[in-house]
Amino acid sequence: MERFERLPDAKSAGGAATNTGPKALIEKPPPRPSLSDDYLVRECLKGNEQAWSELIDKYKNLIFSISVKYGFCSEDADEIFQEVCLALLTELPKLRKPQALGAWLIQATSHRCFHWKRKQRRNATTEPNEALSSVPASDTQEAILCEAEREQMLRDTLSELPPRCLELVGMLFFQEPPIPYEEVAKNLTVAKGSIGFIRMRCLKRLRQLLVKKGFQ
């Protein structure tokens, strides 16, 4: 695999996600259709830097969200992001199933977060009990992984919506403050009175896609 000139830093990757929950699942601008992991991995292995950027852009929120769930500050989350990107660049040629990339990233990021917590505990100047509490218990780690998987499934499914639905969902649910119906209608070049119907149809389509994937 050809080496890329540089790894993406936190700023070029969109910055660390400092919040969790629905509005943190997707950063501005609103979501857009994404290329398949299989295609992106193949292109990355050819040395295609644009494909590498697309791949990182697709999964940056996943990586950052796990660091945030572990309680890291934005600076530490940036460092963990860099480490995960470097590990991905190294391991990409060994990846047998590109469709399992999301699961691999969840595990890789979680492992690095755990090791960072242990390193912080060793270097801590606080009381031992307080330092020990900084390392999540095994059941907490499992909950973090499950939540990360659910959030990534939602991100991936959103990217499968038709373009107009994708744009509408982005404007109504992933902007702060939410965009008024008048502006949404103008951007979509439709009547304001039709936004409610389109919204209902798009959310129905999203639910159908999620059900097919076993989202619970």
| Domain segments of the chain as ranges | 1-160, 162-216
162-216, CATH topology level:
Arc Repressor Mutant, subunit A (1.10.10)
How far does Cα 215 stand from its chain's mean position? 17
Output the six-digit token pair for 31: 């979501």
pLDDT (tens digit, 9 = 90+) per residue, 28-72? 444 556 688 999 999 999 999 999 999 999 999 999 999 988 889
pLDDT attached to residue 125? 57
Nearest-10 Cα torsion for 150, 154, 156, 157: 130
Architecture of domain 1-160: Orthogonal Bundle (1.10)
Residue spans of the chain under pLDDT 70: 1-34, 124-139, 216
Output the six-digit token pair for 138: 């095994």
Residue 148 near residue 108, CB atoms below 8 Å: no
Residue 122 near residue 115, CB atoms below 8 Å: no
